[in-house]
Structures are given as structure tokens and as C-alpha cells.
Amino acid sequence: MVVRERLAELNIAGVVSATGLIAHGRGEAFDYLLGERTTSDALLAEKVAVAYMLEAKNPVISVNGNVAALCPEEIISLAETIPARIEVNLFHRVEGRVEKVVAHLEAAGAKKVLGRNLDARLEGISSDRALCTSEGIFSADVVLVPLEDGDRAEALARAGKIVLAIDLNPISRTARAATVTIVDELTRALPNMIRSVADLREDVPERRRLISSFDNMTNLKRMVQAICSHLQTD
């Protein structure tokens, strides 16, 4: 309820788009089917994602209006602790909205947020969603995309990047295009990820073991099974 009200207020303020509200509703529906909990498989995916971020040369966290609205502090904390860059990347680029999202993050304490000056394009996307920054997403080797759309997740994967998605829908195009899909609610996933950084920062062998033993298609199948078993329990 509190979260919905915050999103509605930030929709009026121009940070969250109308379609962002609809996307949030889709997420809520999947979370309900999953039992509104972090499964052990989601927790493992969160650790694997952190392992990739710690192994990366230029990790970037892509932030849209919903992400900025739902958990600005956690995004900033994850970005600082890895460390990773934050780039604002919007699905709906209405005039002035990037500035509002960047300002919202800066008000929460973010420094040097990328996204105001888009000087590069991802191949294979015709719309202005291809735009990104050369310093950030364009040159990133690992990109965390909480709540990304399928087109861009696929374009990032085609560009050879490690794509780490947070998406409650285990059958979305984003979920299937990603290297690691965390099927968990964003505000539960990020604190778990921040906790994992401390465990994995000095443990390079464990990071590499997590990465080499992870298979995303198996992960997604298990998440679909988790939904099915939750629906079958009374």
C-alpha cells in the first residue's frame, strides 16, 4: 500500500511513467504467484549476480523511473560497495524526465549519475531506447538491469555484455535474454545483494565457483516450478 502510494506520487511528479505503474502491477501479480518471498534459487541468483559484478571491469547499474522510485538508497549503496556506475536509462524518454530521475537519485545521495548526455547507441534497437552513454552502459562488461524491457535486454546480450536482470516474470524476454535472472522483488533482492558483497569481496574462488556452476535456464525452470508448487499448496 505504502509502495503503491509512493509510486502514484512519483508518477504525478514525473519520475515514474504511466506504463511504469502498469509494469509494477505485473510485478505484483507474479510476486503473489510466487508467495511474496525470496526462494533459495533467487537467493543463489542474487549471489551469482554479485559475483559477476565483483569480477567485472566496468559494472554499470541501469536505473529507470520505477527503480529510482522504489529503492534509491539501495541502488546507491550497491553501486558504492561494488563499486559500479549508475546510469539512468528510461523506457519512456519524455522531455525532462531523465533530469527528474537523476535529481531524485541525487536527492537520495547519488553522485556522478550517468544518463544526462547520451552519446552512444546500442545496435539492433531502432528507437531512442538504443541511446546510452559511452562511459557507462556502452562500455560496460556487466550490466545490472533491474526491471528492463525485452528489446534492450536482448540488445545488451547481443552486444556481448553479461546481463544481470531482476524480473519477477520468469518467462519474460528479459528473463530469458539475461545471463543471470533474479526472479525476486526488487526491494527484497537489493538488500540480499548488498549483504553478499561482504561475503564475496575477498573470496575470488567462491565467486568463480558460483559463476561457473550457474545455468540461467535451469534457474528459470526452477522458478516456474516454485510458482507451480506455491499454487498447489493450500
Q: Which is nearer to ligand ATP, 53 or 165 (CB)?
A: 165
Q: Which is nearer to ligand ATP, 87 or 167 (CB)?
A: 167
Q: How far is the CB of 200 from ligand ATP (least distance, A)?
A: 22
The verdict on 26 binding ligand ATP (CB under 6 A) reads yes
Residue pair 126/136 in contact (Cβ under 8 Å)? The answer is: no
User: What is the three-class DSSP state of 129?
Assistant: helix
**Binding to ligand ATP in span 60-89, by CB under 6 A:** 70
Q: Which is nearer to ligand ATP, 190 or 207 (CB)?
A: 190
Q: Which is nearer to ligand ATP, 23 or 53 (CB)?
A: 23
**Grid cell at residue 191:** 538488500
Q: Which is nearer to ligand ATP, 140 or 153 (CB)?
A: 153
The verdict on 186 binding ligand ATP (CB under 6 A) reads yes
Q: How far is the CB of 204 from ligand ATP (least distance, A)?
A: 29
Q: How far is the CB of 156 from ligand ATP (least distance, A)?
A: 12
- Beta-strand pair 162-166/142-146: parallel
CA distances from 72 to 65, 84, 101, 127, 189 (A): 10, 14, 10, 27, 13
Q: Which is nearer to ligand ATP, 70 or 207 (CB)?
A: 70
Angle at 130 between CA 97 and CA 56, to 5 degrees: 95
Neighbours of 232 (CB within 10 A): 7
Neighbours of 29 (CB within 10 A): 12
Choose which of 27, 59, 65, 170 interacts with ligand ATP (CB under 6 A): 27
* Phi (first) and psi of residue 181, to 5 degrees: -115, 120
Q: How far is the CB of 152 from ligand ATP (least distance, A)?
A: 9
Residue pair 206/200 in contact (Cβ under 8 Å)? The answer is: yes
Site string for ligand ATP, 138-167 (x = CB under 6 A): ---------x-xx---------------xx
User: What is the three-class DSSP state of 107?
Assistant: helix
CA distances from 73 to 3, 79, 109, 127, 223 (A): 15, 10, 8, 30, 28
**Binding to ligand ATP in span 28-47, by CB under 6 A:** 30
Size of the site for ligand ATP (CB under 6 A): 18
Residue pair 116/135 in contact (Cβ under 8 Å)? The answer is: no
Q: Which is nearer to ligand ATP, 28 or 135 (CB)?
A: 28
User: What is the three-class DSSP state of 119?
Assistant: coil
Residues in touch with ligand ATP (CB under 6 A)? 23-24, 26-27, 30, 70, 147, 149-150, 166-169, 172-174, 185-186
